[in-house]
Amino acid sequence: MKVPFVDLSRQFKPLLSEIKTVHADIIDRCAFINGPEVKTFEKEMAAWIDLTETCGVANGTHALALTLQSLGVGPGDEVITVPNTAFPTSESIGMCGAEVVFVDIAPGTFSIDPQAVEAAVTPKTKAILPVHLYGIPADMDALMAIAERHNIPLVEDTAQAMGAKYKGKRVGSIGRAGCFSFFPSKNLGTFGDGGAMASNDQELVSQVRMLANHGRYDKFTHQAIGTNSRLDTLKAAQLSICLKALDEWNQDRRRAADLYSELLAPFAEITCPKVPEGCEPIWHLYVIRHQQRDDLRQYLQEQGIQTGLHYPKPLHLQPAYAYLGLGKGSFPETESATQEILSLPMFPFITEAEIKTVVDAISTFLKEKR
Ligand SMILES: Cc1ncc(COP(=O)(O)O)c(C=O)c1O
C-alpha cells in the first residue's frame, strides 16, 4: 500500500460544494478584495481563539513581520527565536530590519529553551518569538515569566499549531499576539497562501491592518510605508467554512498520533514525540527521531511511504545567516535533532491501515538493521 505524506482532498472533499457555492456568489459580486467575508472570518476566528480581534493577511510570514513591525521592532533591535524552525520565523525578523538572536531548543523537546532565552536577553531585545513547532506548545509559563520580568512582548509563531492548547488556552492567545499561517497543508489551510495575526491589543491589530493595506486607515490617506498583504475574500469565505471543521480535523490528527505512539512504543531505537504536561498538541506533523534517519527515510520511500524533513538544516547554518558567524556546534540540541528527525504521514482521515503500513515498514527496517 502506498501512503502519501499528506492528502488534503480527504478533508476538503466533503466541504467542496459548500465552498463552491460561496465562491460563485463572491465571483458574481466581484467582491475579491476586502469583501464582507473577510470581516466575518476575522470575527469568527477571534471568537474561536478567544481573543478580541484578528487581522487577516496574505501569509504567515507577513503576519509575523507586520506584528513585529507594529510592536516597534526595527533596525538596531534584537528578537530571540530558535534555529529549529521554518525559515520564515527568522526571516520575519530580518524583514523588520532587526537582528535575529538564535537560542537552542530545550533537551528532549523541539521547542525553545526558556533558560537560553533568559541568558540571551539584552537591552536591545525587543521581542521573544517562540514557535509551537509541529503543533506542540512551547513552555509558555516559563517564557511568559521571562517576557513579563523584562517587559518584552512575546509573539507566538502559531503557524503550525492552530487549535493546540496550553493549560486549557489555545496557543496564539497567550502572548501579546499570535501569528498564523493558512498555507494549504497547515491545520487550517486555504487554497493558496493566507495568514492572520490575533491579539487582545486592539491598537496593535489596527496597526497591522494599516500596514497590510498600504499604510492607510482610510482610502486616500497613507500614514506609513506599508505593504500589500490582505487576505483575499475567496480565501476568507473558504476559511470560515473550514474553521467549523477544524476541531474535528485536529481531533482526528490526535487519533492518528496516539495510534503511532502506541504502535511505535516497543521500538527502543525510535524516539516518539513527547507531549509536555498540560498540553494538547494538534500534530501538524508527527515527527520521530532515529539515528539512521536517512537510511530509514530511503527505505520507507522504496516501500511507497512518503515522509518529510522539518527541517534538516538548522537556520544558523543556512547561507543567509553565514554573516552571523555561528558555526557547527553553536546549538547542539538543534543540530542533533535536525539530523535525526523524520516526519511520518499525518493528515486528517489517514486510515488505521495506512498508519499500520508505516509502522510495519519501520519495524521491518529495524529488524534488518539489527
Ligand atoms: C513555523 C512557521 N512559521 C512561519 C511560517 C510562514 O507561514 P507562510 O508560509 O504562510 O508564510 C511557516 C510556514 O511555512 C511555519 O511553518
The pLDDT score that the predictor gives to residue 22 is 98
CB-ligand 1 contact for 227 (6 Å cutoff)? no
Pocket test for ligand 1, best of 67, 181, 197, 283 (most atoms within 8 A of CB): 181
The span from the CA of 317 to the CA of 291, in Å, is 20
Grid cell digits, residue 100? 535575529
User: 61 C-alpha vs ligand 1 centroid, how far in Å?
Assistant: 6
CB-ligand 1 contact for 81 (6 Å cutoff)? no
The pLDDT score that the predictor gives to residue 47 is 98
- Measured between alpha carbons, how far is residue 269 from residues 116, 291, 343 in Å? 29, 8, 16
Say how many residues make up the chain.
Answer: 370
pTM for this model (two decimals) = 0.98
The span from the CA of 64 to the CA of 96, in Å, is 10
The span from the CA of 74 to the CA of 97, in Å, is 5
The pLDDT score that the predictor gives to residue 248 is 98
CB-ligand 1 contact for 285 (6 Å cutoff)? no
The pLDDT score that the predictor gives to residue 369 is 86
Q: Which helix (H) or strand (E) holds 90?
A: helix 87-95
Q: At what angle do helices 352-369 and 293-302 cross, to 10 degrees?
A: 120
* pLDDT tens per residue, range 293-337: 999 999 999 999 999 999 999 999 999 999 999 999 999 999 999
Output the CA torsion sign for 367, 294, 7, 262. positive
Grid cell digits, residue 290? 532515529
Pocket test for ligand 1, best of 67, 155, 160 (most atoms within 8 A of CB): 160
How many other CB atoms are there within 10 angstroms of residue 141's CB atom?
A: 11
User: 361 C-alpha vs ligand 1 centroid, how far in Å?
Assistant: 31
Grid cell digits, residue 55? 487581522
CB-ligand 1 contact for 98 (6 Å cutoff)? no
Grid cell digits, residue 335? 543540530
List the Cα angle 343/170/183 in 5-degree steps: 45
User: 364 C-alpha vs ligand 1 centroid, how far in Å?
Assistant: 35
The residues, ordered by sequence, that sit 6+ positions from 22 with a Cβ below 8 Å of its Cβ are: 37, 237, 238, 241
The pLDDT score that the predictor gives to residue 130 is 99
User: 366 C-alpha vs ligand 1 centroid, how far in Å?
Assistant: 33
The pLDDT score that the predictor gives to residue 292 is 97
Grid cell digits, residue 346? 499525518
CB-ligand 1 contact for 159 (6 Å cutoff)? yes
CB-ligand 1 contact for 183 (6 Å cutoff)? yes
User: 148 C-alpha vs ligand 1 centroid, how far in Å?
Assistant: 26
- Measured between alpha carbons, how far is residue 40 from residues 37, 76, 190, 241, 332 in Å? 5, 38, 16, 11, 45
Domains of the chain with bracketed CATH: 9-104+111-240 (3.40.640.10), 246-369 (3.90.1150.10)
The residues, ordered by sequence, that sit 6+ positions from 171 with a Cβ below 8 Å of its Cβ are: 132, 137, 138, 140, 156, 158, 161, 164, 165, 178
- Contact between 326 and 120 under an 8 Å Cβ cutoff? The reply is no
CB-ligand 1 contact for 343 (6 Å cutoff)? no
User: 86 C-alpha vs ligand 1 centroid, how far in Å?
Assistant: 6
The pLDDT score that the predictor gives to residue 370 is 77
CB-ligand 1 contact for 131 (6 Å cutoff)? yes
The pLDDT score that the predictor gives to residue 132 is 98
In the predicted model, residues of the chain with pLDDT beneath 50 are: none
